[in-house]
């Protein structure tokens, strides 16, 4: 949690960090990923058989090694919009028997050469957990139950035995399952009204938890600010043993929301992720409202928010049906850092966040037949996933603010502060304090008084020569630089930069 006091631009900014004031535990799942059968994410991205850079399974080794460096806890699959016409049985068994199908989400052909077993094997190679999304478009409840049985079944049953026949004896034990994806959207096959979706989601959830009560089921929300979110939460967040379910466990565990941000102007682009912070706050209130109205007892776990699609994405600049391959700038890297600051600040409410996507498609990591490129947005993701874990701690920022237009425009109408210095702070399991400061100003560095950061401080800085700098033109214009600071005097946060400070707080020595 970070509080804020507005100063004039002439005043010296002050950042105060309180590493001994833990606010909430950070769920490692906020650093989750997402792979969809879209563009070159799967084919030519994580799976490229025949390439000299691939292993015996067809997995790109350079991609695996890069992603391992992010310590990704969960990967969402197979969509996204793709899942609305995806039939998982098409993608299992002998590859020469798998049918090629027209793909309606991104208007291509799906060969089904990469399916459930390949994805599970890839997750094991990466050291991450799978998160699967049910087909709520052309799929059936029987098909969904069969998929859970195939992945998790231990008995002598048809689909568990099919998994064994296909070469996997032990169950995959998939915990996370989404009840559809963006079913509210007009681009969806089998678009639904909120009433139709809520009814279907409850009926499916009841059957799925009868089959496997350990599943973590994720409700399909919109962006957290819509009547869809209120209605579906009100209808589906019910007490266990309610009139609609005799289940002894809650049917819904998480609520999914999606948001992408972008602007062709730097400052609206960099501040746009603050809309996600407001959306999380609204969604959190809607969860509480549903629990109050439905009489959910306090002993029943409170659902968290699954922000399972987020990123900077301009769909005109990077059209989805053409593969959505963004060329990210330093401005976009600053925006991604603010996205991540938001998730840290809101760790009480966010149980998972999946950057969309992990390779090639609106991604920080790009492949070519001969190697990989780490885009500008890779570096904030790398810094956060490496260091910003443990607990969110109290921090306060006093500085000037950007006063111009925002994207989305409603952000300014919410009276949401848009400070020049965007901040989050953590204390790790290792006892180290971590402070991230994003200076969004494209012309001015800020000499800042930093309180609570003491001793020898490791400093990681991400910046470039100008806000349009990119790593996609054959040279790495944006990267991370390491330095040291002795926590004496003021610190100058460079213009258009991301700074991570890391130190061992003096007051924590005796207790950690």
CA dihedral 406, 409, 411, 415 (to 10 degrees): 90
DSSP string across 249-267: S-S--EEEEEEEE--SSHH
**Active-site annotation holds for 319:** no
- What is the enclosing helix (H) or strand (E) of 129? strand 129-133
230 in Cβ contact with 236 (< 8 Å): no
CA atoms within 13 A on the CB side of 278: 18
- Can you give 61-76 as a three-state secondary structure string? HHHHHHHHCCCCCEEE
Rounded Cα gap, residues 79 and 37, in angstroms? 7
One of 110, 309, 326, 477 is an active-site residue; which one? 309
Of 335, 372, 471, which is closest to residue 65 (Cα–Cα)? 372
Torsion sign across C-alpha atoms 18, 19, 24, 26: positive
Peptide bond into 408 cis (omega under 30): yes
**Active-site annotation holds for 309:** yes
One of 182, 277, 326, 477 is an active-site residue; which one? 182
Rounded Cα gap, residues 332 and 377, in angstroms? 7
Strand runs labelled E in 400-486: 421-427, 433-439, 446-451, 457-463, 479-485
Active site residues: 182, 309
């Amino acid at each position: 949690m970070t509080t804020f006091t507005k100063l004039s631009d002439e005043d010296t900014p002050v950042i105060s960090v309180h590493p001994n004031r833990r606010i909430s535990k950070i769920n490692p799942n906020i650093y989750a990923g997402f792979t969809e059968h879209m563009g070159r994410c799967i084919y030519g991205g994580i799976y490229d058989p025949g390439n000299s850079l691939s292993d015996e399974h067809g997995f790109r080794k350079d991609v695996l090694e890069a992603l391992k460096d992010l310590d990704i806890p969960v990967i969402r699959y197979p969509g996204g919009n793709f899942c609305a016409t995806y039939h998982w049985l098409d993608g299992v068994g002998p590859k020469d028997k798998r049918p090629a199908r027209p793909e309606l989400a991104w208007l291509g052909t799906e060969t089904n050469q990469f399916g459930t077993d390949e994805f599970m094997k890839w997750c094991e190679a990466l050291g991450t957990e799978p998160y699967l999304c049910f087909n709520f478009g052309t799929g059936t409840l029987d098909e969904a139950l069969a998929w859970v049985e195939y992945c998790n079944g231990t008995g002598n049953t048809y689909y568990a035995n099919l998994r064994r026949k296909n070469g996997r004896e032990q169950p995959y034990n998939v915990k996370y399952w989404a009840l559809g994806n963006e079913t509210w959207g007009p681009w969806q096959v089998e678009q639904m009204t909120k009433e139709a979706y809520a009814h279907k989601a409850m009926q499916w959830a009841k059957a799925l938890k009868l089959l496997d009560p350990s599943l973590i089921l994720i409700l399909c929300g919109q962006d957290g600010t819509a009547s869809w979110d209120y209605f579906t939460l009100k209808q589906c967040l019910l007490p266990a043993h309610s009139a609609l379910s005799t289940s002894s466990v809650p049917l819904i565990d998480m609520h999914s929301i999606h948001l992408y941000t972008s602007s062709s102007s730097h400052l609206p682009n960099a501040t746009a992720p603050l809309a996600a912070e407001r959306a999380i706050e609204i969604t959190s209130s809607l969860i509480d409202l549903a629990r109050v109205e439905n009489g959910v007892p306090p002993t029943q776990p409170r659902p968290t928010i699954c922000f399972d699609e987020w990123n900077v994405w301009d769909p005109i600049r990077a059209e989805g049906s053409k593969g959505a391959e963004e060329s990210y700038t330093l401005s976009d890297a600053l925006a991604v850092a603010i996205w991540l600051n938001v998730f840290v600040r809101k760790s009480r409410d966010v149980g998972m966040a999946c950057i969309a996507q992990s390779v090639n498609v609106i991604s920080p990591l790009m492949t070519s037949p001969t190697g990989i490129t780490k885009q500008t947005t890779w570096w904030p993701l790398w810094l956060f996933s490496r260091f910003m874990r443990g607990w969110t701690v109290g921090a306060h920022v006093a500085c000037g603010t950007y006063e111009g237009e925002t994207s989305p425009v409603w952000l300014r109408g919410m009276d949401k502060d848009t400070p020049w210095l965007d901040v989050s702070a953590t204390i790790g399991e290792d006892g180290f304090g971590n402070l991230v400061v994003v200076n969004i100003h494209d012309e001015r560095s800020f000499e800042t008084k930093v309180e609570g950061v003491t001793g020898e401080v490791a400093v990681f800085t991400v910046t470039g020569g100008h806000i349009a700098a990119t790593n996609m033109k054959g040279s790495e214009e944006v990267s991370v630089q390491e330095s040291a600071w002795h926590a004496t005097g003021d610190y100058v946060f460079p213009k258009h930069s991301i700074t991570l400070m890391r130190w061992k707080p003096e007051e924590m020595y005796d207790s950690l």
